[in-house]
């Protein structure tokens, strides 16, 4: 008697190159579910929900065209039991499946749900790797065994060696492991970036379905002109466009922010990579190949900066996630408890940097890493926002946000909530950094040069207040000792005025 197998494909497992699909079999059925539970565990950006459902539908269609058996449960399917576990149980019981298989999920939450399935189903269950990441779940924990902090740089170098990326024998190509110094240029008035490649799809029917099913969402969408890639072909097009039009200046201006451009020279590939339409090593290798063919116009610093984000930072964050979950989701080193200001949900603040970043996020389901770290994250840390509040916001608003990459960036890099496991210091700043890296301050209601009084930039007083309040936890940090030297050299009257200014702002966050 042949085995009748049900295989689950999650919405972020759209890897057409997976070994599962190398053979077709009438005894194997693939299950894909548009689950209410996945659409509602946080309030997602409308573009994020649409991108997932569009991509899942395209993937299911491709599987069917290639001769595979597929059960696809749309959100409004009357047979849809609303959650992934409920649908699995129902299908196994009613379709006489004799085995169940799934690829290891990337989120701890889903991992726990599927582990419970193993206890509930009365048939053999097996798991396979997603065949996507360059490291196993456990690899980073083993790499840093016995260490109190996880230094990303040492992990990144090991990944370069392991996959022979930009290496000459055992040494880094170009003579340096990283080119951060070349890749941190500030705002430039005559900066120009090529227009982004935006796709153009009508998603009216999916929007109608979401409204019918009462799926709550945030953000804006043009239902007649949806801009994101939703299949492997489009994702490869976007990669090729990035290489041809943006790579030459990616590294140099990767930290810059500008009101004139939402995307600058960033690739916009993170959604395609995170749902596995593109493999990270594929992206990296195509980038290196393109650079080698165009070294007369593209410097190695541009390429190294891009590769670092993928084989370094991305793999590193995933490793931290599996090494430290579920406890990581509760870490709150500074014991912050404030709620997010209301304007995080609508962008209605007089602070131009935050207004621009949040409104652009609401319009595009996107912000680049410095906007997330040094604008929204910087403010949240200075204002003492509960990291859980910020987790839900980041996880919902960005199209590329999946918990394994979101929470480690939020709790670790952005909010220092892990006490220094990921970051060696809190990433906070006054208006000086924001003004250097952007044109936000030029048209702001607040004055970048004022630290107290009417229209003083909130970042200035909040910065000094943050260090004053958290002195017992930060003073011995060797990377920020200079802050306390400066603080102690201030006249007591000036220091007191700064703290009072900050307290006034903290009491009226919704009015900023």
* 212/134 Cα distance (integer angstroms): 40
Averaged pLDDT of the chain: 95
With beta carbons less than 8 A apart as the criterion, state whether 251 and 305 touch.
Answer: yes
Using pLDDT thresholds of 50, 70 and 90, give the confidence band for residue 181: confident
Sequence-separated (6 or more) residues with CB below 8 Å from residue 352: 259, 440, 441, 443, 444, 445, 446
| Angle at CA of residue 396, ends 225 and 358, nearest 5° | 70
* pLDDT average, residue stretch 215-241: 97
Q: What is the pLDDT of residues 68-120, one digit of tens each?
A: 999 999 999 999 999 999 999 999 999 889 999 999 999 999 999 999 998 88
Residue 3 has pLDDT above 90, yes or no: no
* 256/484 Cα distance (integer angstroms): 28
Q: What is the pLDDT of residues 120-173, one digit of tens each?
A: 898 999 999 999 999 999 999 999 998 888 999 999 999 999 999 999 998 999
* 217/128 Cα distance (integer angstroms): 33
Using pLDDT thresholds of 50, 70 and 90, give the confidence band for residue 1: low
- The pLDDT assigned to 172 comes to 95
Residue 275 has pLDDT above 80, yes or no: yes
- The pLDDT assigned to 310 comes to 96
Tokens of 426: 């809190």
- The pLDDT assigned to 329 comes to 96
- The pLDDT assigned to 274 comes to 98
Query: b/e string for 270-306 if b means 16 or more Cβ within 10 A?
Result: bbbbbbbbbbbeebbebbbebbeeeeeebbbbbbbbb
Tokens of 467: 């260090």
Half-sphere exposure of residue 45: CA atoms within 13 angstroms, side-chain side: 30
Residue 161, number of CB atoms within 10 A of its CB: 13
């Amino acid at each position: 008697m042949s085995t009748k197998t049900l295989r689950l494909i999650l919405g972020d497992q759209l890897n057409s190159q997976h070994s599962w699909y190398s053979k077709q079999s009438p005894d194997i059925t693939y299950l894909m579910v548009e689950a209410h539970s996945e659409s509602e565990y946080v309030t997602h950006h409308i573009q994020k929900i649409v991108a997932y459902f569009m991509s899942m539908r395209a993937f299911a269609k491709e599987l069917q065209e290639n001769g595979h058996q597929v059960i696809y449960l749309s959100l409004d399917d009357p047979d849809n039991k609303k959650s992934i576990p409920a649908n699995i149980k129902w299908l196994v019981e009613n379709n006489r499946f004799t085995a169940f298989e799934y690829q290891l999920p990337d989120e701890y939450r889903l991992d726990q749900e599927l582990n419970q399935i193993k206890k509930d189903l009365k048939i053999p269950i097996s798991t396979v790797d997603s065949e996507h990441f360059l490291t196993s779940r456990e690899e980073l924990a083993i790499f840093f065994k016995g260490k109190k902090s996880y230094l990303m740089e040492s992990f990144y170098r090991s990944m370069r060696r392991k996959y022979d990326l930009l290496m000459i024998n055992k040494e880094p190509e170009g003579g340096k492991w990283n080119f951060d110094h070349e890749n941190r240029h500030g705002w430039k008035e005559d900066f120009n970036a090529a227009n982004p490649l935006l796709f153009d799809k009508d998603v009216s029917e999916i929007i109608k379905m979401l409204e019918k099913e009462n799926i709550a969402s945030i953000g804006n969408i043009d239902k007649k002109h949806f801009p994101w890639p939703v299949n492997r072909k489009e994702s490869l097009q976007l990669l090729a466009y990035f290489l041809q039009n943006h790579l030459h200046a990616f590294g140099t201006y990767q930290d810059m922010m500008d009101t004139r451009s939402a995307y600058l020279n960033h690739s916009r590939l993170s959604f395609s990579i995170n749902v596995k339409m593109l493999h990270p090593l594929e992206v990296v290798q195509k980038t290196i190949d393109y650079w080698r063919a165009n070294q007369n116009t593209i410097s190695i610093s541009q390429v190294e900066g891009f590769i670092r984000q993928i084989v370094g930072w991305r793999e590193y964050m995933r490793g931290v996630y599996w090494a430290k979950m579920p406890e990581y989701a509760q870490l709150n080193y500074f014991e912050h408890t404030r709620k997010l200001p209301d304007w995080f949900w609508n962008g209605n603040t007089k602070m131009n940097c935050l207004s621009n970043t949040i409104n652009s996020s609401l319009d595009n389901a996107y912000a680049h890493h410095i906007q997330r770290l040094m604008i929204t994250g910087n403010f949240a840390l200075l204002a003492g926002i509960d990291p859980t509040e910020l987790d839900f916001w980041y996880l919902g608003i960005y199209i590329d946000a999946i918990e394994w990459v979101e929470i480690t960036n939020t709790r670790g890099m952005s909010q220092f909530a892990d006490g220094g496991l990921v970051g060696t210091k809190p990433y906070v700043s006054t208006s000086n950094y924001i003004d250097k890296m952007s044109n936000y301050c030029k048209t702001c209601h607040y004055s970048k040069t004022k630290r107290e009084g009417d229209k003083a930039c909130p970042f200035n007083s909040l910065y000094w207040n943050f260090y004053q309040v958290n002195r017992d936890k930060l003073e011995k940090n060797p990377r920020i000792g200079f802050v306390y030297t400066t603080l102690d050299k201030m006249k007591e009257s000036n220091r007191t005025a700064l703290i009072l200014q900050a307290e006034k702002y903290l009491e009226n966050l919704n009015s900023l």
